[in-house]
Amino acid sequence: MASAVAEVSASAVLANTSTRTLILGIDKAGRIRQHDRSAGDVLAGGVLAGEESALIGTELCALLATPDGPPAAMLQSLIDGACSNREGTTVLPFRTANDATADAVITVQPIRSVDPELAAQVIMRIAPPVQERFLDPAVMRQVMIDGAVRRAGGALDIDQMAPELMNIIVPHFCNAAGLVVLESLVADDEFPSEPMDGTQLVRRLAVAHDDGNVAWDAAFPTGEILRYPSDTPYTQCMDTGQPVCEVVTQEGAEAMADAWIRRPVAGLLSGVSMLLLPLFARDLMLGFIVCVRRVGYRRFDAYDVEIGMEFASRAAIFMDNAQRYSRERATALTLQRSMLPTQTGLSAPSSVDVRHRYLPGSKLIEVGGDWYESMRLPGGRVALVVGDVAGHGVRAAVTMGRLRTAIHTLAKMELSPAETLQHLNELMQELGMREPHFATCVYAIFDAVTGTCEIASAGHLPPLLVRPDGTNELLELPQAPPLGVGTGLIQSRTLHVEDGTLLVLYTDGLVEKRSRDIDEGLSRLREIFGPGSADEPLEELCRATLAGVYADEHRDDIAVLMARLRRLPAEDIVSWTLPSELTSASRARSVIRRPLRRWGLTDLLPTAELLVSELVTNAVRYAQGRIGLRLVLEHGPDGGLFCEVLDDSAALPRLRYPDDSDERGRGLQVVSQLAQHWGARRAASGKVVWCELALPYG
């Protein structure tokens, strides 16, 4: 908002292109001893050659608009300060030669002169009197078109740009102004499907005025969504798409006040000269600017309409660019943010604690080519993944999104880490035919039942394993080229881990800098995870890992995934070995009853017995050796009861749809209907067929 003219700030006075600079010399009493020609013209109405100026000997305080008020005291304090060798500046209202009042930025400086009477130099930067505003079209054009509007056009947010535009047009073109745009443009980020007319909803984005009257803000609140009354200048501008220039009569102002049920409108608009400037971009009307000149000022004319429309056309282009930028930026951010999992999107068994950190390398783009995953797998297992697509920006992020989708699909197929990376390598090679890309990735599967961890890597940095005793090591994994580079065989390594072990997966941005060798970064990482670190909270360890990287403006993207690995409690796991006989189904039904009762899952007994019976029967039909049966209970919001049957047949079962005459093939149909989930995966000596039942207590 523009401040009242009587209280205008120094910056506002100095911003006025019509401001004139006056220089005067005064003595210790504040009397004028010298002045330049401009001071004589503005303060004394001019001085003829050979005549003594009327200002000489005049007290400077006498030229104030209120010689005996607080401004006089302020001026005297500045003079006293100059006499004490101090400089001071303030804004004071002065009376000009034609008895008009103008605000001036006045600076009083100490001075040394051969004239012993001179004590200070006064520099006055004085704005034109309010009665002389809006008289010079060249000045208005220079300020509105060639100067300030270019600065406002640099803003890329329409909510920020709107007040800036209004503060340009006020006070240089009118006394009050408002910016109104289509509501659909702001709320829905789209142009209307039909041409703009007076019936559409609009939103007032900004209001400015120069008289300090709070009634403007009350009558025309910023952010208001409204529909203008018919037969008003506003609807006329919206209907025709042409500028509207008219003097608002008292009757017209009162009619608008009654239609809006706002009495202050009548007093504000009665007798004013109003100009409405439509805003057009891409041949579509965005809204309009309302300009008002109060009674006593020059009314708008055809030349003002020309200047105003030139201003409006540029403002509309700036607003359209800002709106398009905001729309595209919101789309890009939504796309990028959807490519990374949130903390709630990371899943793991109840015995495994997982935390992550992600830091983009670019300040302009929130997501690059680095990514991480933690996916809960059936039977108390979890897949931990960190990858890095070469490059930065949106292209790398899109490729990363494709790889994430593929990893989720492959994880559902329950492939081993090596097989998963092998499939990803084939996918990257196909993508590289259209656009060259490569990526590194490390994939680990931790089994919380057996305490084993299988890890495979494709060109990625070695994971850090931190044992409970505080020792750590960078795991040596079978070497393989990055994804999309070669066709070599990818192999994995399996290791047994103690409860409480930390597994840290990361991308090269964490340990690699332009100013240091990568070995130094790896050594620093190992120092962070020294003795005692295995027991520290993961959040603290994440913060310590990223300490110092925020100040590096040339860093790469950084992704860190930490997991504290623990096995599930032994009392939540039971297993049996059954012979490959038809009686094994009956045996399986009987042995699961005791653990289910101990776990308080009696309600699941009928369903669990039926499902176990079907799975064991299917294994007996195809297995040659003994059959394994295991129950795994997982607590927590994502927990469940897992029933797993292991046999030595490598053939994975598939769901069949038997005809009415078929006597077989309905077992898996029953399993798929009664179980929450079911599936099969290959094992070292055959396969595992499993199903999951939801826990009755959540």
Instruction: Dump pLDDT digits (tens) for 264-296.
Output: 899 999 999 999 999 998 888 889 999 999 888
pLDDT surpasses 70 at 301 = yes
pLDDT exceeds cutoff 50 at 477: yes
Q: Which residues on neighbouring strands pair with residue 126, listed in sequence order?
A: 20, 104
Tell me the residue type at 610.
Answer: L
Specify the range with the lowest mean pLDDT, choosing from 242-246, 366-370, 574-578: 366-370
Check residue 623 and give its pLDDT: 80
Predicted local confidence at residue 570, as pLDDT: 92
Checking DSSP bridges between strand 452-458 and strand 284-293, what pairing results, if any?
Answer: unpaired
315, containing H or E segment: helix 302-338
Q: At a CB cut-off of 8 Å and minimum separation 6, what does 311 contact?
A: 144, 145, 149, 168, 169, 173, 277, 289
Per-residue pLDDT at 7: 41
Which pair of tokens denotes residue 18? 């019509």
Mean of the pLDDT values across residues 56-64? Answer: 89
Q: Is 132 helix (H, G, I), strand (E, B) or coil?
A: helix
On the question of pLDDT at 5 being above 50, the answer is no
Mean pLDDT is highest, among 327-331, 401-405, 529-533, 641-645, for 641-645
- Distance of alpha carbon 79 from alpha carbon 558, whole angstroms: 61
Angle at 28 between CA 25 and CA 32, to 5 degrees: 35
Residue 43 pLDDT: 80
pLDDT at 18: 61
What number is the average pLDDT over the span 318-341? 75
pLDDT value, residue 11: 53
CB 353 within 8 A of CB 346: no
Mean pLDDT, residues 123-143: 73
Q: What's the average model confidence in pLDDT over 122-140?
A: 74
* Cβ-count burial 584-606 (b if 16+ within 10 Å, e if not): bbebbbebbeebbeebebeebee
3-state secondary structure of 110: strand
Q: CA 284, CA 181: separation in Å to the nearest integer?
A: 12
The helix, strand and coil proportions of the chain, stated in percent and rounded to the nearest 5, come to 35, 25, 35
For the chain, what is the mean pLDDT?
A: 84
What confidence score (pLDDT) does residue 3 get?
Answer: 37
More confident residue, 400 or 666: 400
Q: Residue 68: which pLDDT band, with cuts at 50, 70 and 90? A: confident
Domains of the chain from N-terminus onward:
5-131 (3.30.450.20), 137-330 (3.30.450.40), 342-565 (3.60.40.10), 570-693 (3.30.565.10)
Strand 202-209 with 120-126, pairing: unpaired
Q: Model confidence over 228-276: pLDDT tens digits?
A: 888 888 989 988 889 999 999 999 899 888 888 888 899 999 999 999 9
